[in-house]
Structure 1
Amino acid sequence: MDILDVGRIIAGLVLLILGGEFLVRGASALSRRVGISSLVVGLTVVSAATSAPELAVTIGAVFRDEPGLAVGNVVGSNIINILLILGLSALVLPLVVTRGLVRFDLPLMVAMSAGLLLISLDGVISAVDGLILLCVVVAHTVMTIVISRRRTRSPADAAGSTSGSPTKDVTDEDEESPAASTGKSLLLVVLGIALLVGGSTLLVEGAVNIATTLGVSSLVIGLTVVAIGTSLPELMTSITAVRRGERDMAVGNIVGSNIFNIGVVLGLPALISLEGIPVSSAAVSLDIPVMLAASIALLPVAFTGFVIARWEGALFVGLYLAYTGYLILAASEHDALEGFTAVMVWFVLPLVAVTLIAFTSYENGLRNGRKDLVTTKRPS
């Protein structure tokens, strides 16, 4: 273990913290200037920015002929985004989930996770598969921005029509002030992205060097060390967004990042390489299904009052720790692996499923009870 690698990890963490602060501050201000919600900014600008490290690592891994690292980076990052980052963010403060996110973006994330599993069954993500994944992300981004702009313009148009005449009394000085603020916001966004990319690059380089010295395989490194390192921008950005009161940006960042990771971070390298990205049988049989299961598990959680509560966040963090423990035991071929697997399959996972179903039914019952109470109190 080199002391220089430890220094890279520490310096990377510092840059990530600063980058997350600048990015959220700039993106929040930018969303208000442009006239779109912070959720849409999280789904598009912030998610693409925080996924930049994954894209850089995946392209580099493909050209270095390390497909295990490329696939493991994306799949591991998506698992971490849902279970660890959303879980930790919800522990800080319960997260608000909008109806649009539940009805459109979350199902798309689940569909793309399932699609990745299907196209990986033949052992390769081909150039055609990459093109399809890219087109889905482009269509999602365009639709998200167009729908948001329509929703924002409708109230403004209504206000303008009732006032009787266009508001021409806005001075040139008033028009220039938002422009200056927009420039400052864009500068903060660019600076935040640069710090996030630089910080994650330093951290991943140091962590990979240490893990390689310890003899860990490239797939496991991609699923754990690299995935955590490249997901730290999402973690810092989400926690910073929650702390600054932008809770919908935190959720939008994670969902948008997962969609971007599958569609662009895997799709673009597969398209560039022409030969596609090989996918190992271990990833197809375990890691991609775990990613899909995590995506599906987020749906009932989001439906329970459109809030991700603290207990749900704690449950997600616990599941991620269990998954990481399995990876470590499997990589080291530890004697405890068989017993650990039996406990997870026959006790922990069924208990988690029962808990999710029970709490979902309970909270839906409470919500329906409140609706009935409001209905009965209304005058006839």
Structure 2
Amino acid sequence: MAGCFAAATLVILILGTRLTDVADRLADRTGLGEALVGGVLLGVATSLSGTVVSVTSALDGSASLAFSNGIGGIAAQTAFLALADVVHRKANLEHSAAEATTLFQGALLMVMLTLPLLAWLSPELAVWQIHPVSVVLVALYCVGVLTSRRVHEEPMWKPVRTRETREDVPDETHKRASLTGLLLRFSVMVVLLGLAGFVIARSGAALSERLGMSQTVVGALMTAVVTSLPELVTTIAAVRRGAIQLAVGGIIGGNTFDVLFLSLSDFAYRDGSLYHAIGKGDVFWLGVGLLMTGIMVLGLILREKQGPFRIGTESVCMLLVYAGAIALQVQAG
């Protein structure tokens, strides 16, 4: 099982790098922009392997693994954004990636993360074994995607441009590329990522039983991190090629889509509401994800040019929160 887990991880790493190039070309070819393509198309694509893990786990009755995999991935991916800030040496990444669409998606993510918490705190409720919050999350995501496009095309405010601000200027050579060819390449890689996620789901559950570790630990610290590697690879690759909005938008959009892991898992879980089949350890990671997202949004608003260690103060805080959460989770077992 460990060999299968490692092989699937390698597949995700390789495909993640290539996805960035295709997504950047699609952003220029379609005219949708890096922030929107990163937040929606790239975010969904890189999250597919994690989706398969959560849904497969829910079908197997592993509620904690399904929940913690999705929420743990959000925390991990937000920490990856801080690591990308380290790579982007010119200025704080959140300063350079000033974009109304990105800020809107960050606020949307915070709203979506709050709903599962309210579902867990409220009395148990399910219609056909599905909690109403799961349906609301899907509807909210769809409305958010449509609104994101409107924000991109008709922004009601624009950030102050500085020398460090990186504008999204389409590459003219990308505009002449075949849209059908780009979509076909993108689709093939997405399918392969999904298959890798299925392998990770099966091997992750087996490792949980074999190693005697809780599903929360395996989900939040193993499967979530591994299935989040495409976001790490694509974010670093995007920063290196100067596609800053694509990098930040990909993380925030991927996190927003990851919240739908909970809806999809709730649909697949047949023993009642998923939100009432989880423990405090799982909800702990929900709080961590919400806190890290709030810090990130504050950084996008403040737009500090440079903070401690030549990165943004928000990046330092996000890394500290994530490291502290891991320490607490390991201690709790």
Matches within 5 A, 1:89-100: 89-93=84-88, 94-95=92-93, 96-100=96-100
Amino acid aligned to 2:37? V
Of the three residues 183, 190, 213, the one matched with 1:216 is 213
Amino acid aligned to 1:282? K
Work out whether residues 54 and 201 of structure 2, in 8 Å CA contact, stay in contact via their aligned partners in 1.
no
Alignment of 1:73 with 2:69, yes or no, is yes
Of the three residues 292, 317, 320, the one matched with 2:319 is 317
Q: CA deviation at 1:108?
A: 1.3
> Aligned with 1:36: secondary structure?
coil
CA deviations 1:200-258 (Å, max 9, x no partner) are 44455445544432200112211111111221121112112112211111111111112
Q: Which runs of 5+ in 1 are unaligned?
A: 152-176, 332-380
Of the three residues 13, 18, 21, the one matched with 1:17 is 13
Alignment of 1:136 with 2:133, yes or no, is no
Q: CA deviation at 1:10?
A: 3.5
Alignment of 1:294 with 2:289, yes or no, is no
Matches within 5 A, 1:43-82: 43-82=39-78
What is the aligned-residue RMSD (CA, Å)?
2.6
Of the three residues 227, 248, 251, the one matched with 2:224 is 227
Q: CA deviation at 1:321?
A: 2.1
Alignment of 1:326 with 2:328, yes or no, is yes
Give distance in 1, aligned partners of 2:66 and 2:125.
Answer: 11
Work out whether residues 235 and 248 of structure 2, in 8 Å CA contact, stay in contact via their aligned partners in 1.
yes
> Aligned with 1:51: secondary structure?
helix
CA deviations 1:317-348 (Å, max 9, x no partner) are 333222112111110xxxxxxxxxxxxxxxxx
Give distance in 2, aligned partners of 1:307 and 1:251.
Answer: 16
> Aligned with 1:120: secondary structure?
helix
Work out whether residues 61 and 67 of structure 1, in 8 Å CA contact, stay in contact via their aligned partners in 2.
yes
TM-score normalised by structure 2 residue count: 0.81
Give distance in 1, aligned partners of 2:224 and 2:21.
Answer: 25
1:122/1:103 CA distance change after superposition, 3 Å: same
1:69/1:90 CA distance change after superposition, 3 Å: same
What corresponds to 2:265 in structure 1? 269
Question: Aligned pairs, how many?
Answer: 300
Amino acid aligned to 1:19? L
> Aligned with 2:191: secondary structure?
helix
Q: CA deviation at 1:66?
A: 0.9
Amino acid aligned to 1:302? L
Work out whether residues 295 and 318 of structure 2, in 8 Å CA contact, stay in contact via their aligned partners in 1.
no
1:16/1:255 CA distance change after superposition, 3 Å: same
- Percentage of identical aligned residues: 22
Amino acid aligned to 1:256? G
Q: CA deviation at 1:131?
A: 0.7
TM-score normalised by structure 1 residue count: 0.71
> Aligned with 2:61: secondary structure?
coil
Q: CA deviation at 1:315?
A: 3.9
* Structure that is richer in helix per residue: 1
Q: CA deviation at 1:6?
A: 3.9
Amino acid aligned to 2:57? A
Give distance in 2, aligned partners of 1:12 and 1:307.
Answer: 38
Q: Which runs of 5+ in 2 are unaligned?
A: 156-173
Amino acid aligned to 2:134? G
Q: CA deviation at 1:67?
A: 0.6
Matches within 5 A, 1:274-285: 275-277=272-274, 278-283=276-281
Give distance in 1, aligned partners of 2:292 and 2:237.
Answer: 23
